[in-house]
Structure 1
């Protein structure tokens, strides 16, 4: 049975993921180290993990496997989940697979190195847009159908 895991800290698409999970009658695990209002939806389980670096990531990576879907912007977590056979989506709808997660990890490391080398480098990524939200919904629907085949 498919499960949906959401790395919920700073995830802008929790509500959208819940709607899709409900439509497909799939259990959704919203994992964070606290501070989130639990959903009243019986298919949504709020998992609060202890504070600490990557504790939520480890909880997800230890459970997500073949047939499951993980929503995260965390590339190292995505790499572990892909390795375990799970389908991984970023909140902007980008799918991470065995074919591209290595490149994403390398790019993340490169950008981290560039930021640490230039203390005056400002800014982050692009702001989250309506188009990103729409792409995410389409991608999650597609992944959910593929996982349930």
Structure 2
């Protein structure tokens, strides 16, 4: 008897703060690679008419979208997020994670990234102006597309 086929890998998107150009890349990749892409947000999202793309709206509240992703993600899936704690949670479940600028989260780098995030939170809590993220550029879009293509090639 042959074992049942493994569930195909899926892509989960922490969509509340995901840049539009990254979503467009994911929409095209979903159809090209015939892979499920699910955008998770606590607001209604417009998605293209595609059997591979869907949106999941969750109740508002802190970490509601994160919790919904963690409840559904499986080993081998890819999560697109800027949220470092979410990335740590999905890495612990055997999924992979990248940010919208194409930077992969890894088990080797996640502890350091969490420490930096916590330190910056402490500075902001103390009233220090730390500034926000830099503007999203074409090179960020290219870096993301490159990382996504590498992940898709590995899953084939």
* TM category, shorter: over 0.9
Match of 1:62 among 49, 58, 71: 71
Q: Which consecutive unaligned segments of at least 5 residues does structure 1 have?
A: none
Match in the other structure for 2:10: 3
User: Is the Cα–Cα contact under 8 Å of residues 69 and 144 in structure 1 kept in the other structure?
Assistant: no
Residue 109 (structure 1) aligned with residue 106 (structure 2): no
Normalised to the residue count of structure 1, the TM-score between the two structures is 0.93
Q: Does residue 1:140 correspond to 2:155, yes or no? A: no
Tell me how far apart the structure 1 counterparts of residues 18 and 56 of structure 2 sit (CA, whole Å): 15
Gaps of 5+ in 2: 1-7
Equivalent in the alignment of 1:51: 60
The alignment of Structure 1 onto Structure 2 pairs a total of residues equal to 147
CA contact (8 A) 1:21 1:27 kept: yes
Q: Using the alignment, how far apart are the partners of 2:81 and 2:89 within structure 1?
A: 12
Question: Displacement of 1:67 after TM fit?
Answer: 1.2
Aligned-partner SS, 2:16: coil
Tell me how far apart the structure 1 counterparts of residues 52 and 136 of structure 2 sit (CA, whole Å).
Answer: 27
Give the aligned CA root-mean-square deviation in angstroms.
Answer: 1.2
Could you say which residue in structure 2 is the equivalent of 1:131? 139
Pairing of 1:29-48 with structure 2 (within 5 A): 29-48=38-57
Please give the alpha-carbon distance, in whole angstroms, between the structure 2 residues aligned to 1:15 and 1:33.
Answer: 19
SS of structure 1 residue aligned to 2:101: coil
The structure whose RCO (Cα within 8 Å, separation 6+) is larger is 1
1:13-64 Cα offsets, whole Å, 9 max, x none, are 1111111222111011111011321321111011011111111100101111
Partners of 1:29 and 1:44 within 8 A in 2: yes
Q: Which has the larger radius of gyration?
A: 2
Normalising by structure 2, report the TM-score. 0.89
